[in-house]
Amino acid sequence: MSELAVSEYEILLFYDPNAPIGAESLGYAKGEGYALRDVDILKNKFTGMQLEELADRLHVPIDGLVNKDHPDFERYKDDSFSDDDWIKILQKNPQLIKQPIAIRGHQAIFVKTPSDLSRL
């Protein structure tokens, strides 16, 4: 059973409002008039199952959800972590989640530019 409520009729956008690409993607989606449900990853905490489902939908391992370019990643880069460890780290440090992530129906993508949303 899916923990992420998704629909073919709307985009589910996970974003960090403090990250330029997150704010730009949200603005683009609203400006284009997309049916949208936006989730601020700093305010809405993920369950372990939700993180696993996100990784599965994106076809990446759990550590593929980690933004290795984020400054806070420095303290984790030299260690080896299990999937369960990464889930706990991401739950405590949601700013480390690579974002924005957009889902529509069965499609999920990491948004690199706001216009990527048009691919869904």
User: Domain holding 42: CATH number?
Assistant: 3.40.30.10
Domain count, the chain: 1
Strand partners, 109: 102
Range of the domain at 46: 11-113
CA torsion angle 22 28 33 36 (round to 10): -10
Residue at 39 is within a domain:
yes
Q: Print pLDDT tens along the chain (120 aa).
A: 477 778 899 999 999 999 999 999 999 999 999 999 999 999 999 999 999 999 999 999 999 999 999 999 988 877 889 999 999 999 999 999 999 999 999 999 999 999 999 988
CA distances from 23 to 8, 9, 11, 67, 109 (A): 23, 22, 15, 17, 16
Residue at 43 is within a domain:
yes
Residue at 6 is within a domain:
no
Residue at 119 is within a domain:
no
Residue at 82 is within a domain:
yes
Residue at 93 is within a domain:
yes
Residue at 23 is within a domain:
yes
Q: Are the beta carbons of 86 and 95 closer than 8 angstroms?
A: no
Q: Which of 14, 18, 16 is nearest to 4 (CA)?
A: 14
Residue at 91 is within a domain:
yes
pTM of the prediction?
0.91
Which pLDDT belongs to residue 84?
A: 95
